[in-house]
Amino acid sequence: MRITHCAYYLGCALFLSSAATFADSHKMEAKIEAIKVSDNIHMLTGKGGNIGVLTGADGTFMIDDQFSPLTPKILAKIKEIGGEHPKFLINTHFHGDHTGGNENLGKAGTLIVSHNNVRERMASGSYIQAFKMKSLPASADALPVITFSDDISFHINGGQVHAIHTPHAHTDGDSFIHFKEQNVIHAGDLFFNGFYPFIDINHGGSVKGMISAVDKILAIADDKTKIIPGHGPLATKSDLQAYRDMLQTAYNKLRLMKISGMSVTDAMAAKPLAELDQEWSDGLFSSSRWIEIVYPGIY
């Protein structure tokens, strides 16, 4: 039996209300916790996507930044674990629970990096149909100033940090981050550990693309790899493999329904994922709601 993930999927509340409304209402109660992953890597949890932090003599390297009002608490926690104001920030994708602190950090001199499509989505604004949520164009200070198409490497703190793009997965701009020497991977929202993931079909995501992305991570990981998911507890390769198996089972069933001409309403009513619900529906979505969101992107 998996642990209950309510403490983690609350961080996905970006998809239930506007990021600003959520951040304002949770500003005082949010608590940032640090989990040690390796000697100089920590996972920070709070209200939003899990943050990765690499500290060392060359400076602090940060992955994602949750919501804007949480920045002071996040920076205080980074200082507490031995880090400095982040020298680099990389966004794994454009959603506001991973980029909400960009403006604060950018104004303070942090160099922000992302895939090309992340900057484009942030600069133009977005609308997520599944939750009727509109995001306005980001300010200049919030935008990544360095972008890449396939991958990029940072040589920092005695090791290599490698960011790898995975097309048409959670969105069209996802990257996962590999800390080679420490054998740690930050998967971003390619991995919701223990529950059905949000897949942003409107912005280039798909179940098939998620499976391909997870396969890329699995090919790099080994039994000792520690994996920071976008949402959920710190994970292992076996956790990621279980998640991949769930996605493949769901995709196979939904694709057959799509090929047969079933509507999304009929697919939901058929409850094809009932066997998965005990393990995977204790997060943001029931399987019926998840089918409603991902079915248009099944191909």
CATH number at residue 139: 3.60.15.10
User: What 8-state DSSP symbol labels residue 50?
Assistant: P
Q: Enumerate the H helices of 56-170 as residue ranges.
A: 71-80, 96-99, 102-107, 116-124
pLDDT digits (tens, 9 = 90+) for 119-145: 999 999 999 988 888 999 999 999 999
Query: Domain tally for the chain?
Result: 1
Question: Span 173-198, mean pLDDT?
Answer: 98
Q: What phi and psi values does residue 151 have, to the nearest 5 degrees? A: -160, 165
90-129 pLDDT, tens digit per residue, is 999 999 999 999 999 999 999 999 999 999 999 999 999 8
Mean pLDDT, residues 148-154: 98
- Contact between residue 23 and residue 67 where contact means Cβ atoms under 8 Å apart: yes
Q: Model confidence over 238-249: pLDDT tens digits?
A: 999 999 999 999
* DSSP secondary structure code for residue 235 in this structure: B
Would 184 be classed as within a structural domain?
yes
- What DSSP state is assigned to residue 48? S
CA dihedral 82, 88, 93, 94 (to 10 degrees): 110
pLDDT in tens, 214-236: 999 999 999 999 999 999 999 99
pLDDT tier at 12, thresholds 50, 70, 90 = low
Q: Is the four-CA dihedral 241, 166, 62, 67 of positive or negative sign?
A: negative
Taking a C-beta distance cutoff of 8 angstroms, is the pair 248, 202 a contact?
no
For the chain, the average pLDDT equals 92
Q: What is the per-residue pLDDT for 16?
A: 42
Quick: pLDDT tens for 37-96: 999 999 999 999 999 999 999 999 999 999 999 999 999 999 999 999 999 999 999 999
Longest dimension (CA), the chain: 58
30 confidence band (pLDDT: 50, 70, 90): confident
| CA dist., res. 4 & res. 12, Å (int) | 15
Q: What is the pLDDT of residue 1?
A: 35
296 within some domain: no
Q: How many CB atoms lie within 10 A of CB 21?
A: 11
In a domain, 55, yes or no: yes
Q: For residue 255, is it within any domain? A: no
**Could you tell me if residue 258 is inside a domain?**
no
Whether 288 is in a domain gets the answer no
Q: Is residue 58 part of a domain?
A: yes
Instruction: Average the pLDDT over 3-24 and give the result.
Output: 46
For 61, the domain range is 6-246
Q: Tokens standing for 238?
A: 């076996």
Q: Is residue 270 part of a domain?
A: no
The pLDDT value recorded for residue 131 is 85
Instruction: Supply the DSSP symbol for 58.
Output: T
pTM greater than the 0.75 cutoff: yes
Within 10 angstroms of residue 288's Cβ, the number of other Cβ atoms is 17
Q: Are the CB atoms for 157 and 58 separated by under 8 Å?
A: yes
